[in-house]
Each structure stands twice: as C-alpha cells, then as structure tokens.
Chain A
C-alpha cells in the first residue's frame, strides 16, 4: 500500500480494522477521540460492531464480554478514562482472554489537561489494577510505529491470552505523518477452545476470574506467572542508535525517545560520543539489555515526560554501577531537542555526582533554572 498522510489516532484505528478488528467499544476523551469517531463510521460500514458506551467503565466491560466470544476487540482511552478501566483490566487479565487497549496519555494526575505526557507508565507497566497481572505494553514513537505495533498487539494478545496495551501520547495521537497501512485482511473469528460462544454440540464452558478456593487461585496466579515468563523470554523489543562507540547513553521511550534522538544526532554532529537506547516494548522491560549497557557506559541520561517512572526500572537494571542523570518535562509539556541537547552537553562535560537521587538532582536544577 502507498504511504499517505495519517493522523496517529486515525492510523491506529484503521490499522486495527485492517487486521480484523470485529468490535470497538469506547467513550470520547481528548486526545484520542479520533479513534472512536473514525471507527464509528468504519465499523458499521464494514458490518462490524461499534458502540459508544456510557462510560469507560462500561466500555471495558463490553470489551470483556466480547473478548469471551473469541473475537478481536479493542478499546481506547486516555489517562483518566484508563483509570476507570482498571477494574475491567484486572478482570480480563484474571479471566485470561485477549484484548487490545490503547492509552493516549495526557497530563495528570486527576483531570489534568489534554496535552501529551508519559505519566501512566507505572499504571501500565507496574499494574494499575488490583492483583498480580501483567499487560504487554507497546510504546510507539511515530505514526508508522503506531500502525505496526497495533497490528502486532492483536497477535500478541491472542498468543498469550492477555491484554496488549498500546501506550502512546497526545502528541503521537494528534500528529500527521506519512505512513503506510497494511492491506485489508478478512475477519477471521477463530474457534478457540476456551470461548463461551454457545455450547452447541459440546461441553459447556465457563469464563470467570473468581477462584473462591485459595489453592485454585494460587494455581491461576502461578499459571499467569508462567505465561509471563514466556512473554519475557520472547517479546523484548528496543532500538539502539549510535551505541557502538557511545561513551554514555540517553534512554527514552515514545515521544521522549523521539525528541532525544534529534538531540543525540545534534550532539553527534558536535562530536559528542553519545548514543540512544529506546525501549519499544515497556513490559516486559529490557532489563538484560540495560544491564549490559550499564557495564560499559559511563553514564545514563534518562529522559521522560513524567516524574521519573521508567527511571526506576533503569536504576534497577543498572544496579548502581554508573551515574544516572534524569531530565523531565511534566504537565503535558513536550521537551524540545535543545533542552535534551543541553543536558547531553552537561553530562558530557560535568563530573557527575551520585549523591542525590537523579530525580531530586533534576528537580533542584530545574527549579533553580526556572527562578533565573
């Protein structure tokens, strides 16, 4: 197919349609409403299911019901709406049925604003709903990557019988870029051996997340862990830029990673030996790759649009072997490449201290700078 100018949200929605999305249930919330609106026209046009639910609570439960039938189903929302979905996410995870969700992150906490942020990393990666469960979390940084990861999300969700979440932000959701959509595939409703689609000529099935007898719940918890180990073994995804001879490494995901790439390129042009490590799948987290880098780099510079959430996973992997610097913008502000370049130059030329937590060090610098 040809490349065309596509808006991130629309591209994500259409990509899902192309790979056989049978049902979408959602609710309007900025900055992802284009997903809902695009599908409100496309799905009926193709004879598929679209419902604008009464809330995100209802939407995720409709997803839950539809997922139990074995069909490809999706919902999307943004930060506050995803908070409302946490109950449903826990139930879907406990029932072990596949579904795809998208969180187009915005400023928070609370009502926040409609500008881009990355402050739901912890909610997605470290379990925002109750109980021991995991989501496969995919973090695109461009419209094309959004398309490609959406296509994969459905396969991953079905392969492991869990939720795959596309974690993007208002910037990627709203921007228009040239990108290529996949060819339209026919809808295939697979006859899974677990689906509750009517016990015609077979034993009846139950899909539930209740295991009132604790040993049976423990069995389920162990099964979920073993599945997660398979995901960890097979679904590590990241991209490396200029790392072969890099002395220190910038680490960022999504939009922050994309902005950092511009800064890294500019720094290289100035002769600074810096590289970029961009995680693409955030859960499972590429601990092993970071661990390896920590052994040979002189420092990390973590750039995020939150108060330092992935930062803690980096620190965990680095195990105190090198100084970790941090730079953030919050509140819906996207950092400019200049800001990150400034940070890169500071890291390249300053003797780094490990006295303060990187977040505290950043906050001190940031507030001091704002006062000037």
Chain B
C-alpha cells in the first residue's frame, strides 16, 4: 500500500513554471488553467489521486511554494525542509 500524501501550492509564490509537474513521479500535478494567482500565473495543483508525499515537487520548486504532507503510518518522521 503506497504512502498517501497531499500538497498545498501557495498562490503567493507559484509562477506556473511546471518544474514540479515535470518532476512528479506519480503525475498527479497540472496547472490550474481556470484560475490565476494574484501575479497572473496559473498555479500548479493536484488533479488526481496518487500523491505519495515524496516531496520531489518541493525539491525542484524554485519558489518554495509547496507544502508537503505524508500520512504517518509508523513512528513520526521529523523533516525540516526537504526530506
């Protein structure tokens, strides 16, 4: 059973550069073409199931726009900035 993860992309920082979409091993990300950030970008978002909380998106994000969560199933993991 793969880990279950979730990300939040901040509209304050995301520039729709698509580096996260390109890097996501689970292909769960795409640009939200229906929506613009205050700066006028289409932000990235999760659009389907399958995020494992691997945090690769946050590693490649140039704007540190992504907060990553992963369901704890065993003992707690403490990760400070980028696993």
* A/B contact in complex, CB under 8 angstroms: no
